[in-house]
Structure 1
Amino acid sequence: MTTTRRKFLTAGAVAGASTLAAPAVLGQAPIKWRLQTYAGAALGEHVVKPAVDSFNKIAQGQMEIELYYADQLVPTGELFQAMQRGTIDAVQSDDDSMASPTEVTVFGGYFPFASRYSLDVPALFHDWGLNEIWAEEYAKVGVKHISAGAWDPCNFATKDPINSLADLQGKRIFTFPTAGRFLSKFGVVPVTLPWEDIEVALQTGELDGVAWSGITEDYTVGWADVTNYFLTNNISGAWIGHFFANMDRWNELPEHLQELVRVCFDSSHYYRLHWYWAGEARLRVEGTKMKLTSIPDEEWAQVEAAAREFWDEIAAESETKARIVSIFKAYNETMDKAGRPYRYT
């Protein structure tokens, strides 16, 4: 009697599940999204492809994300516009690189000294209110801000050694817009080029170096092969990047697929936390392609002081920017007061 009852209940549950699941899968073409990342193929293998592959596997044919690397569909500087008008459905980038027309754009990528470590970024977004600000700003322009995460720090990789601030004078450096604006205060000449042209530009002498990444990316994408020195001082402990989607396409997704997008993209953020953290240390110690140089702490303190003045310049530009700068200030003051291991002074 017990066995019969168990079989009956099991059969009923399976039949019920099949009936409920069928309308969501059978007879419908899979939803397709085109996602373009700021990263080239070699870097994209780490910073986005595992998450997209995972999503496509778990979605079981209900939805598929097609992944495109830097500049494959549109130039990186046009990513925002293409997503806004629906030419592409989703983007992985920082605000700065994709020329976002929002109040938060200047804080994307490497906002000087806003973070010391990679964990500062998720802490700021999840626990200090930045998620809400980004969501509000992008909703105004028809874009869904899905999530933010940390990438690597911003160090210089150069052909000539950098041992003092004077060595930065006149150096033609590929970097992010806001980072370039800040570094120009120290004589750096910011250069903007398509990402895939950087290696050749370093070889031909069009560029003297890059301030785009940490040492992990330098090795991964080949820049360590065409530069000779790596400056251990950085202007930011972690790049701030995001996943975005066209708002209409996001709203068309059923709730369970929206949640799956979030979870898989969060897995991408997690992957980068340990991949970069491990790589930055291991390659400084075991890497053989670039010699490490450093600017003395007392001299580098001038750069940190200039960053705080730069924050105030940005805060004066708008109420929203002032609100974000105040969060950065309060957060970093708290970390300083907390001391080790949050901050080493």
Structure 2
Amino acid sequence: MKRRDVLKKAGVGAAAAAAATAVGAPYVIAQQKTTIRWRLQTYAGPALAEHVCKPGIEAFNKAANGEMVIEQYNADQLVPQGELFRAVQAGSLDAAQSDDDSMAAPVDVSVFAAYFPLASRYSLDVPALWHWYGLKEIWEEAYAEIPGVTWLSTGSWDPCNFATVKPIRHLEDLKGLRIYMFPTGGKFMQQFGVVPMSLPYVDVQMAIQTGELDGVCWSGTTEVHTVGWADVTKYYLTNPISGAWAGSYFVNTKKWEALPEHLKELFKMQIDVSHYYRLHWYWRGEAYYRTQGKLELTTIPPDEWKIVEDAALKFWEEIAATSARCAKVVQILKDYNATMIKAGAPYRY
């Protein structure tokens, strides 16, 4: 009986000790946990990053509740834009928000990011193409072939229009203009006499003031006004070479795989916050600054602009010939636009 009492007391003591350990464990673990810190660089300069990147990052940092903090850096702040992909791949940056085109992503489909000529008409075209027409799966396939970087999501920004120091009212007026542009859009517009220029984002405004640039074809009028380019240009061409910029979030694969699942989901949710904010911010801004902005609006007549639209379709075929995957994307763009035209207003007029 005494032996039983000893065993019984020992069992009660062990259970109590185990219970105490279990109750205390979360507190001990919480005290020992180190905050995960990531560095993310966006393609956008400081004024623009306040809208296209910061709202989502702030929401993430608040919701992560100390478990993880993302430090946001702006265009060229840590690495030049053209080296952004390699920096994420090497792990010197943990994440990036950018288009594939200007960050020199080594995938065949990178030409379709940013402003692929005349591929879209409105901002909602981009998420519709990625989520409902198969581009998401194609991007996942393309980046699965590249070690070190994981593509997560593509969203839409603003249209791409010319803001210049000289008026553009005819195609002839494009000849000789030195314009700050994205790589693929610049290559396409060269056939109309445009001279694409590449320089650091922060130097663009001064380059226009000194006459090194005649303007930009990098964004819509919201960005032109937000970042100060409207202060050094005079005219805004209403004909867009593309209806919406396509930009993505990229992460270092090892850093991404090391995150617990709940933080992965939270990061993807902040991406959606970012995508949603831009949809309404740009939609409001494009109308507001056309009607109440600083720049005089000009328009190339429809019969002349039709030449640009036809040239875009020819350019699509040239890109389609570069790889089977690019051909698949071009076919999706054709099918999508055919559906939009058939649907009529408000999808296409």
Give the TM-score category using the shorter length: over 0.9
2:193 and 2:53 map into 1 onto residues whose CA distance is: 34
Indicate how the Cα distance of structure 1 residues 161 and 21 shifts in structure 2: closer, same or farther if over 3 A, else same. farther
1:324 paired to 2:329: yes
1:270 and 1:18 map into 2 onto residues whose CA distance is: 41
Alignment of 1:175-254 (within 5 A): 175-254=181-260
1:121-157 CA-to-partner distances (Å, cap 9, x unmatched) read 0000011111111112112213111111000000000
Query: Which among 36, 43, 47 is matched to residue 41 of structure 2?
Result: 36
Give the AA of the match of 1:254. Answer: P
Give yes or no for contact 1:55–1:261 (8 Å, CA) kept in 2. yes
**Unaligned 5+ residue runs, structure 2?**
1-19
1:46 and 1:20 map into 2 onto residues whose CA distance is: 41
Map of 1:269 onto structure 2: 275
| SS at structure 2 position matched to 1:233 | coil
Map of 2:263 onto structure 1: 257
Map of 2:5 onto structure 1: none
Deviation at 1:103, TM superposition (A): 1.1
Indicate how the Cα distance of structure 1 residues 22 and 123 shifts in structure 2: closer, same or farther if over 3 A, else same. farther
| SS at structure 2 position matched to 1:234 | coil
Deviation at 1:26, TM superposition (A): 3.7
1:91 and 1:208 map into 2 onto residues whose CA distance is: 30
1:234-270 CA-to-partner distances (Å, cap 9, x unmatched) read 0100000001101111100111000000011111010
Map of 2:131 onto structure 1: 126
**Unaligned 5+ residue runs, structure 1?**
1-14
Alignment of 1:29-68 (within 5 A): 29-68=34-73
Indicate how the Cα distance of structure 1 residues 243 and 19 shifts in structure 2: closer, same or farther if over 3 A, else same. farther
Give the AA of the match of 1:314. Answer: I
Give the AA of the match of 1:75. Answer: P
Give yes or no for contact 1:156–1:230 (8 Å, CA) kept in 2. yes
2:24 and 2:330 map into 1 onto residues whose CA distance is: 53
TM-score (normalizing by structure 1): 0.93
| SS at structure 2 position matched to 1:61 | coil
1:258-287 CA-to-partner distances (Å, cap 9, x unmatched) read 000001111101000000000000111111
CA RMSD of aligned residues (A): 1.5
Map of 1:295 onto structure 2: 300
Indicate how the Cα distance of structure 1 residues 64 and 24 shifts in structure 2: closer, same or farther if over 3 A, else same. farther
1:203 and 1:341 map into 2 onto residues whose CA distance is: 39
TM-score (normalizing by structure 2): 0.92
Map of 1:139 onto structure 2: 144
Query: Which among 335, 338, 341 is matched to residue 340 of structure 2?
Result: 335
1:277-298 CA-to-partner distances (Å, cap 9, x unmatched) read 00000111111x2100000111
Indicate how the Cα distance of structure 1 residues 283 and 260 shifts in structure 2: closer, same or farther if over 3 A, else same. same
- Aligned residues with identical type, % of pairs: 61
Map of 2:4 onto structure 1: none
Indicate how the Cα distance of structure 1 residues 103 and 29 shifts in structure 2: closer, same or farther if over 3 A, else same. same
Deviation at 1:18, TM superposition (A): 7.9
Map of 2:78 onto structure 1: 73
Answer with 1 or 2: which has the greater Rg: 2
Deviation at 1:33, TM superposition (A): 0.6
2:160 and 2:277 map into 1 onto residues whose CA distance is: 19
